[in-house]
């Protein structure tokens, strides 16, 4: 009898509900990273009867990972979860496309919230409800990263939901022609992933 896979309680990046799940996960990690050095500090004071002991130094140094975790918590805290009605509307047009949802993409110069992204052949299309998004900047930089990873893809970001869902329908209707002539050698690290799934993972690498 085969071993059963353990199902994670946390949502994976690119799935609906990820941001809410990630906020809880990072909060618990941050609390844990501060509780441990506090216990070391308290134990040192109890044992040595003074704060001037090696445990105090260890506790101070031990707070550094917690401080870093706070920064990550603040970053994810700025992100808003995807509205369920929006998810339902977009996913109704997903068809057989590989898609990701709820992504906060970060570059040194600019950041943007991406509600959804779909990949088919060399076409990567995303939708963003972020009113501050610099569409041209994000398209150009995402495309550069994807191409540097060996995938000749074109990236398009929509801010009009109706046009985006229409594009998804069109991609489903013409999926075979969009994939025609594309050669793909499975990745040694991820042999079970298709080319389009690997492109999505490259996309996720740019997100919190």
Residues 182-203 have pLDDT tens digits of: 999 888 888 899 999 999 999 9
Whether pLDDT at 162 is above 90: yes
For residue 57, name the pLDDT band (cuts at 50, 70, 90). Answer: very high
Q: Kindly state the average pLDDT of the residues 148-161.
A: 96
- Count helices and strands in the chain by DSSP H and E runs: 8, 4
User: From CA 151, how far away is CA 121, in angstroms rounded?
Assistant: 10
What pLDDT does residue 54 have? 92
For residues 93-120, give the mean pLDDT: 96
Q: Which helix (H) or strand (E) holds 124?
A: strand 123-127
**Spacing of C-alpha 165 from chain mean position:** 22
Q: What pLDDT band is residue 3 in, cutting at 50, 70 and 90? A: very low
């Amino acid at each position: 009898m085969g071993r059963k896979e353990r199902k994670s309680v946390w949502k994976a990046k690119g799935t609906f509900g990820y941001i809410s799940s990630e906020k809880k996960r990072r909060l618990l990690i941050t609390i844990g990273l501060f509780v441990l050095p506090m216990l070391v500090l308290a134990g040192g004071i109890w044992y040595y009867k003074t704060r001037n002991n090696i445990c105090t130094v260890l506790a101070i140094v031990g707070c550094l990972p917690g401080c870093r975790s706070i920064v990550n918590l603040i970053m994810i805290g700025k992100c808003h979860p995807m509205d369920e009605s929006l998810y339902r509307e977009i996913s109704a047009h997903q068809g057989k496309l590989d898609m990701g949802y709820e992504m906060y993409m970060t570059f040194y110069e600019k950041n943007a919230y991406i509600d959804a992204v779909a990949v088919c052949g060399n076409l990567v299309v995303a939708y963003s409800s972020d009113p501050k998004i610099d569409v041209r900047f994000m398209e150009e930089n995402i495309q550069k990263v994807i191409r540097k990873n060996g995938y000749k893809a074109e990236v398009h970001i929509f801010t009009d939901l109706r046009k985006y869902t229409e594009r998804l329908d069109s991609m489903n209707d013409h999926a075979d022609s969009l994939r025609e002539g594309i050669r793909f050698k499975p990745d040694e690290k991820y042999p079970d992933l298709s080319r389009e799934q690997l492109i999505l993972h490259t996309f996720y690498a740019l997100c919190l």
